[in-house]
Structure 1
Amino acid sequence: MMKFTRMLPALLAQTDVVLELRDSRLPLTSINRTLEGALQKWRLERGWDPNNPTRRVVNSTACERIVVLNKRDLVPQWGLEPFRRAMSTRFPDQQFLFASWQRPRDIRDLSGMLVNIAKKYPYAMELNVLVIGMPNVGKSTLLNALRNMGIKGRTPKALQTSANPGLTQALSTRLKLNLDPLVYAFDTPGVMLPFLGLGEEGAERGVKLALIAGIKEGMYDVEALASYLLYRLNILNPISPAYLNLLPPGAEPTIDIEDFLETLARRMGMVKKGALPDIRRAAVYFVRWWREEGGLISAASARQVTDPSLLQAGPSAAITHGWGFDLEWQIRAEELAGRDHGLLVQEKMEACIDGHLADLERQDLSENNVSATQRKKQAALEEHMERKRKYELKFKNR
C-alpha cells in the first residue's frame, strides 16, 4: 500500500482517467482521503481551474475522475438517484455511477463512458485508466468485466479475484479494455487509510469496514460485528428487519444482541457442551449470512420515507431513518406534507455528507487524532533532530 502511494504521482502523469471504486453500503467511509491530495494536484496540472472545479482552462488531454459506487444491489434502490445528486452537488469535479458487476447494463454504461472520453481526443493514441480504491471493493472484478464487454469474443480472466481483502499486492501490467478506441487500464492494490481515528468514530469506521470485508475480520471480535450489524438492520427497517428470516416464525425485532444470538443459535442447532447455545458460532453465521444473502434481503425490505408506519407516528414524532450504513437522519411526518420525497431524501443525504466532511476536517485538525505508531515515529524524529542540533552546536563551538 505504501509503495503504491509513493508511486501514485508518477502513475498519474501517464493517466487520463481515474476510476475510483467505493462500496455503496459505505459510500462515505470508503472515501480514501490518503489519495485526495495527489488527485487534486493531477487535475490542476492537467489544466482544471483551481477556483472553479467544473471549468477547464487547458484541454489538450483527457483528465476525468469517475467514482463508481459498486454493489448497488446491496442498498435500497430508492436512495440511488438522491444520493448521486447529493454527491454531484458537493463534488462537481467528479462523475458518479452506481453499478453492480452482476448487471451487464452497468458494465456497458461504464464502458461507454470510457469510450466516449477517448473519442473526445481523437489525436491521442490511447486512453489510460487507473483503477484505485480501498481493499475488497471489486477493482479486479470490474476490470475483468470491462475487458469482457469491450473486446469481442472469448477473453480469459485476466486478473485474479478474491472475497478477502489484499489479494492484489502489486500494480498490474496494462490491461486492454477496448480495441477501437484503444483503452488500457492498471489494477492497483487496495489502499487503506493509515489511521482510522480515535474514540467511537474511529471504532465505528473500523467495524463498518470489517463488516464488508475491507479489513480482515480476525482483527475484530465477531460478536461486536454482529451487534453493530443488528443495530444497522434495525434502522433500515425497524418494523420487519431482514434478520427475522433467520428466527423462528412469529419472532419480534430486538435490540438485545445476546438474546438474538442465543435464539439464532438454538434455531440453527448451534450448541456446545452442556447443550448451551454457541453464541460465537451464531455471530459468525449472522455476519456471513448478511454478506452472502442478507444484504440483498435488507436492501429490498428497507422502508422508504413514505412508509405508513412513519405517517402514523404523529406529525411531530421524529423517526430514525437511513440508507446504507453511512447515512442516518431524523425525519417527521410533517416534513413529508407537500414535498417531493426524492428531494427531501436528497436534502437529508446532503446534510449527512456535510456532517461527514466536517467531522473529517475536525479530526484532521485535532492533535490527538494520531495513532500510537505515528507518535513513536514523531518522537524518534524529534530525538534525531535534537541530537543533530547538539552535534552541530558542539562542532561550531570548537
Structure 2
Amino acid sequence: MALSHILMPALPIPPSWFPGHMMKFTRMLPALLTRTDVVLEIRDSRLPLTSINRTLEGALQKWRIERGWDPNNPTRRIVNTGACERIVVLNKRDLVPEWGMEPFRNAMAKKFPDQQMLFASWQRPRDIRNLSEILVKIAKRHPHAMELNVLVIGMPNVGKSTLLNALRNMGIKGRTPKAFQTSAQPGLTQALSTRLKVSLDPLVYAFDTPGVMLPFLGRGVEGAERGVKLALIAGIKEGLYDMEALASYLLYRLNVLNPISPAYLQLLPAGSPPTVNLEEFLTQLAQRMGMIKRGAEPDLARAAVYFVRWWREEGGLIAASSALQIQEYSAGSTHSGIQGWGFDFQWQLQPNDKPTSKIDEARIVQEKMEACIDEYQITMEREDSEENNISPTQIKKQQVLEEKMRRKMKYTKR
C-alpha cells in the first residue's frame, strides 16, 4: 500500500565549506575563459538543478557575449570568430530512472536553449564515445584553429576527473595511463590541471579544474535542503553533517520516488511496509544487520551511516530502477499522489493526469518538470534579490569594502 502522507523532515542549518582553492579558481575563471573554446560543465544526474553552480554563471554568460553570441537571443550568434560552446553533461545517469531523461532534456532545452545537454556515465562506453564525437565535430567545424581547448567545470564530486580519464581512453588509441587521480571524497583536485590530450586528430585538449561549491548554500528551508542534498551525494566534505540528518532526508526522498515500494525495503525483513518514521526504520535496520550496542540496544547512529553509504553505492541503482507510476492514478480516481525524479524534481499527480499513450505520458512528465524548473528559477531570482545567497560574513566584508571605498572617494575629492 502506498504512503499517503510524506512530509519533509526538519533539516539542519547548512554549513559553509568554501576552501581557499575554490575562491582562487573562481577569480581565475574569467581569464581562463579567454583561451577556452568549449566549457564542459559536469552536473550530477540526481541533482540536475542543485548541482548548478550559480556563482560561475556570470563569467560564462560574459564569455559567450564576448565571443559573439546575441545577449537577447541565446541561440543566435552575431559574430563567429571561433568555437564557443557550452555542453552540460549530466553524469552518473545510471542513478536516475530512464523514463525521465528525455522529458528532462526537452524541458531544459526550452528553458536553457544556449546549453547542449547529454546524459553520461563513465561506465557506458557509448556515452563517452558520444561526448568524444561531439568535441571532435566542434573542432572540425573550425579547421583554421590549431587545437580545441576544453575547460571542465562543476561542483565537487560530480565526477569530472573520472569522466575525463574515460574520455582520454576513448580518444587516444592504445594503452593510456590514468591521467587524473580520483576519489570518492570531494576536494581532491585543488588546482587547474595541466593540459590533457583527449583527441589526436583533430587536436583536442582538456583542463580539469577544482570542484567549486557555492560560497553560501542559502537560508531557510531551501538552503537547508540544498545542503543536505549535496552532502548525500558526497559533494560536501565528510563530517560537516550528522549522518542521522542525512538518513532522515534520504528516507523521505526514497518514499517520494516510490511511495508504493521504496528502495530501502530491500534492507528490511521481507514483508516490511514503507515507513516515514526514521527511528522505527533505523531500529529495524540495526536489528537486521546486527548493529547492537551494550545493553542490547540497536545502534541507530551506525545504522544511519550504513543506510547513507548503501544508497551511495548499490541503493541508488535500485532506486533508479523504479518505473513511472502515472498509470496508478486512473481517470476516475479521486485522490492525487506525489511523484519524483532524482532529488530535484517532485510534483503532484492529479486524477486527470491519465495518459492515453507513451507519448502522452512523456508529455505529462515534461510539463511537470518544466513547472519544477520555473519554480527553481523563481526561487533563485528571489534569493538573489533578497541577498539570501550571501552569508552574513560575506555581507560584512562587502560593507567594509564599501566603507573603505567611500572614505577613499571622500579623501580624493579633498
Is residue 217–residue 389 contact of structure 2 (8 Å, CA) maintained in 1? no
Match of 2:354 in 1: 336
Q: Is residue 148–residue 205 contact of structure 2 (8 Å, CA) maintained in 1? A: yes
**What SS class does the counterpart of residue 245 from structure 1 fall into?**
helix
Shift of 1:367: 4.1
**Rounded Cα–Cα distance in structure 2 between residues aligned with 1:109 and 1:298:** 26
Q: State yes or no: 1:133 paired with 2:150.
A: no
Decide whether the 8 Å contact of 1:305 with 1:341 is kept in 2.
Answer: no
Deviation of 1:218 after TM superposition, in Å, equals: 0.9
In the aligned structure 2, how far is the partner of 1:12 from the partner of 1:383?
32
TM-score (norm 2): 0.91
Matches within 5 A, 1:328-367: 328-338=346-356, 340-367=360-387
CA drift at 1:51:
1.5
Match of 1:320 in 2: 338
Instruction: Give the Å deviation of 1:320.
Output: 0.6
Q: Equivalents in 1 of 2:37, 2:270: separation in Å? A: 55
Does structure 1 residue 90 correspond to structure 2 residue 111?
yes
2:355 and 2:361 in contact (8 A); partners too: no
Q: For 2:397, which of 360, 363, 377 is the aligned residue?
A: 377
Residues in 2 aligned to 1:369 and 1:57: alpha-carbon distance in whole angstroms:
33
Does 2:173 align with 1:155? no
Partner Cα distance (2:398, 2:379) in 1: 24
Corresponding residue for 1:303? 323
% identical aligned pairs? 74
Q: 2:166 matched to 1:145?
A: yes
Secondary structure of 2:90's counterpart equals: strand
Structure 1 residue matching 2:317: 3-state secondary structure? helix
How far apart are the structure 1 equivalents of 2:140 and 2:405? 54
Structure 1 residue 379 displacement after superposition: 4.1
**Would the aligned equivalents of 1:168 and 1:189 in 2 still touch at CA under 8 Å?**
yes
Report what 1:256 is aligned to.
Answer: 277
Q: Aligned with 1:273: secondary structure?
A: coil
Letter in 1 for 2:368: K
Letter in 2 for 1:304: L
Shift of 1:382: 4.9
SS at match of 1:219: coil
CA RMSD of superposed structures (Å): 1.7
Question: 1:25-80: per-residue Cα shift (whole Å, max 9, x none)?
Answer: 00000011111111111111111111211111111200100000000000000000
Distance 1:247 1:105, change over 3 A: same
* Structure 1, gaps ≥5 residues long: none
Does the C-alpha gap of structure 1 residues 181 and 195 become closer, same or farther in structure 2, counting only changes over 3 Å?
same
Distance 1:28 1:241 in 2: 23
Shift of 1:383: 5.1
Which whole-Å CA distance do the structure 1 matches of 2:168 and 2:355 have between them? 48
Residue identity in the other structure for 2:166? A
Query: How far off its partner does 1:2 sit?
Result: 1.0
**Separation in 2, partners of 1:28, 1:104:** 25
Do residues 234 (structure 1) and 252 (structure 2) align?
A: no
Report the secondary structure of 1:218's partner residue.
Answer: coil
- Asked whether the 8 Å contact 1:316–1:334 carries over to 2, the reply is no
The answer to whether the 8 Å contact 2:150/2:207 transfers is yes
SS of equivalent residue, structure 1 residue 364: helix
Residue 12 of structure 2 is matched in structure 1 by none
More relative contact order, 1 or 2 (CA 8 Å, 6+ apart): 2
Report if aligned partners of 1:20, 1:68 keep a CA contact under 8 Å in 2: yes
Q: C-alpha separation between the residues in 2 aligned to 1:140 and 1:369?
A: 28
Q: 1:65 to 1:385 in 2, by over 3 A?
A: closer
Aligned length: 391
User: What is the SS of the residue equivalent to 2:239?
Assistant: helix
> Separation in 2 of the partners of 1:20 and 1:368?
25
Q: Residue in 1 aligned with 2:86?
A: 65
**Corresponding residue for 1:52?**
73
TM-score (norm 1): 0.95
Distance of aligned partners of 1:76 and 1:260 in 2 relative to their CA distance in 1, 3 Å threshold: same
